[in-house]
Structure 1
Amino acid sequence: MSPSGSPTVVLVHGAFADASSFARVIPELITRGVDVVAPAVPNRSLLGDAAYIASLVRRIPGPVVLEGHSYGGAVITVAGAEDNVAALVYLAGYALEQGESLGELQGRFPDSGLADALVHTPFPIEGSTTTGTDVSVRIDKFPTIFAAGVEPRIASVLAVSQRPLAAQAFAEKAPVAAWKTKPSWGLVASADRTINPDVERFGYQRAGMTTVEVDSSHLVMLTHPERVAELIHEAVRATAR
């Protein structure tokens, strides 16, 4: 926690990305005097990933504003139940209801362009004779589906360095919905081709969040970093002691 008593911001990335996806937002927050942590999410299971982020949050002294992008929204929905989480910020994310899975929320609405661009790859599970399944985005489809509006050379790097998500994460149900007890903000990426923007709108409206819309593709933190930092800072100011 910063000397001023302002919350620490923890930036939780989603599927097919990593913490470097916040590379343009982090300097904006630091300039505003905000302490930032941007961990690597394992992307192995919703419950496991949420437990990992929760363990990190518990080690931070003072209040935390927990931000989640995309799948990271589902993660913060669960991890945000930690006592020192003061607020939640969703960026083009999944705001699950208690007892709801990613697949169930997404299944309420027509598929986005992502559905036809996914690649499924088996991976070994330590200590087991069975294999898991990694889900990633076709490299040739990545720039238009996931990173439209991002500088082409950067998008090509992101495409070949993406962090896949284990298919298991789509079926696990959220045991808690932290937005029920924590003030929350949500950003809809209205030109999103990865998550149907109506999925974002529905989750945010159901949660009664303060919501904004930005004409952006899925990687809104790279295409509109100032607007993203402004929304996060709004949550910081609202919850600062």
Structure 2
Amino acid sequence: MSTPTVVLVHGAFADASSFAKVIPELLADGIPVAAPAVPNRSLSGDAAYIASVVRQIDGPVVLVGHSYGGAVITVAGAEDNVRALVYLAGYALEEGESLGELQGRFPDSDLAAALVTRSFPVEGAEPGTDVSVDVAKFPAIFAHDVDPELAKVLAVSQRPLAAAAFAEPAAAAAWKTKPAWGVVSTADHTINPEVERFGYQRAGMQQVELDSSHLVMLSHPKAVADVIREAVRSAGS
């Protein structure tokens, strides 16, 4: 069997550059990698886009989702050639469950008080609402163990998430039929770590806990790459 391609799915308030330290680790091992840009417009639309990327890859795929990207791979992971899932400080939703419902079971993180909303145009419809993180609060909430100068860049280059995505139910739960791994960021101020643990335990995932901010793949790239390598080995066997 060919070496699985790792598809890295970024979350809200970030882009594919958040995997900049993990990608070289994987490429050095000869693992094919794709890191598409997620539209961050709706859970169903984002999952459909990632699923389209996956379908056009020849051979098996390991889907890796960070944060909101975890919700995206939960749905997109239903594609036939997806062999394994890896969640990084992510949402492992149940079928029919929304981000808001899962988060609502646990106390709010520091993120809740730091969100900023702005309107954006929607052709032929009422304006939508974008959600982002207050730039001044971003480093402490999202990236407290990342280089401070880099955290400032990430704060001003963040990609917002449409508010509608928070209430949209997941159309599938791929972890029910695919092996999955989950990384808990124990010092996460963006998602309550208990949200991560609950989702992973419910799914019966293999778990790793790292003393990390939300941006675990930037602060602990080698440890994250090791988890992805394990999923790749499993998917390729």
Smaller-chain TM-score bracket: over 0.9
**Alignment partners' CA distance in 2, 1:78 and 1:5:** 24
Residue deviations 1:38-74 (CA, integer Å, cap 9, x gap): 0000000000000000000000000000000000000
- The answer for the alignment partner of 2:213 in structure 1 is 217
2:52 to 51, 55, 58: 55
Structure 2: 5+ residue stretches without partners: none
**Alignment partners' CA distance in 1, 2:204 and 2:99:** 19
Residue deviations 1:188-207 (CA, integer Å, cap 9, x gap): 00000000000000000000
Poorly superposed stretches of 4+, deviation over 6 Å: none
User: Aligned residue pairs: how many?
Assistant: 237
**Alignment partners' CA distance in 2, 1:192 and 1:126:** 37
- The answer for the alignment partner of 1:16 in structure 2 is 13
Percent pairwise identity: 75
**Alignment partners' CA distance in 2, 1:76 and 1:126:** 27
Residue deviations 1:102-128 (CA, integer Å, cap 9, x gap): 000000000000000000101110222
- The answer for the alignment partner of 1:173 in structure 2 is 169
Answering whether residue 104 of structure 2 is matched by residue 107 of structure 1, we say yes
- RMSD of Structure 2 on Structure 1 (CA): 0.7
Counterpart secondary structure, 2:194: helix
- The answer for the alignment partner of 1:37 in structure 2 is 34
**Alignment partners' CA distance in 2, 1:31 and 1:61:** 21
1:235 to 217, 225, 231: 231
TM-score, normalised by the number of residues in structure 2 = 0.99
Counterpart secondary structure, 2:131: strand
TM-score, normalised by the number of residues in structure 1 = 0.97
**Alignment partners' CA distance in 1, 2:171 and 2:9:** 19
**Alignment partners' CA distance in 1, 2:39 and 2:234:** 30
**Alignment partners' CA distance in 2, 1:51 and 1:232:** 23
Q: Residue 144 of structure 1: CA displacement? A: 0.1
Pairwise mapping of residues 107-146 of structure 1 onto structure 2 (< 5 A)?
Answer: 107-128=104-125, 130-146=126-142
1:149 corresponds to which letter in structure 2?
D
Counterpart secondary structure, 1:51: helix
Counterpart secondary structure, 2:118: strand
2:25 to 25, 28, 32: 28
Counterpart secondary structure, 1:139: coil
